[in-house]
Structure 1
Amino acid sequence: MKLSNRVLSALLLISFILIAATTEMGLADKICKTRSDRFSGVCFSSNNCAIICQLFEQFEGGQCEFEGAFRRCLCTKAC
């Protein structure tokens, strides 16, 4: 019975280490957002915003979000 408790403890410890390592790796995948310089007007379509950000501003993508009272195009990239 003691052997099975040791095995269970070891498995729990290994699981904890894997979860901690996965969480740390996820922290490196933060997304930075910057207001688009090229997109003008109120942003209604995240698809249009993403196209402008990718083609003209060399970002990975873009999305419409509220900035103050208006929806603005925010370009996105991994930090």
Structure 2
Amino acid sequence: MKLSKRILSALLMISFILIAATTEMGLSKRICKAQSDSFSGVCFTNNNCAIICQLAEQFEDGQCEFDVPFPRCVCTKAC
């Protein structure tokens, strides 16, 4: 009986450590944004923007940003 309590407490401790570690990693991930220098015109589709960001500017992704008067292509990557 004592052994099973020790095992249970050890498993609980390990699970708390794993949860804390994964939570810490998730919180530290930041996304850096930059307006595309290579994309020309008004951005209408995220797909075209992402292709330009990945191929021409070595970013991980790109998407249209619509909260400005003219939609623009914004490139993103983890930083």
TM-score (norm. length: structure 2): 0.73
DSSP 3-state at the match of 1:68: coil
Q: Report the RMSD for the aligned CA atoms in angstroms.
A: 2.2
Q: Which residue of 2 aligns with 1:39?
A: 39
Quote the Cα distance in structure 1 between the aligned partners of 2:31 and 2:62. Answer: 11
Name stretches of at least 5 consecutive residues in structure 1 with no aligned partner. Answer: none
> Which 4+ residue blocks in structure 1 deviate beyond 4 angstroms?
none
Question: What percent identity do the matched residue pairs reach?
Answer: 77
- Deviation at 1:70? 4.3
Quote the Cα distance in structure 2 between the aligned partners of 1:60 and 1:36. Answer: 12
TM-score (norm. length: structure 1): 0.73
Q: Which residue of 1 aligns with 2:62?
A: 62
- Deviation at 1:2? 4.1
Report the structure, 1 or 2, having the larger strand content: 1
Give the partner amino acid of 1:73: C
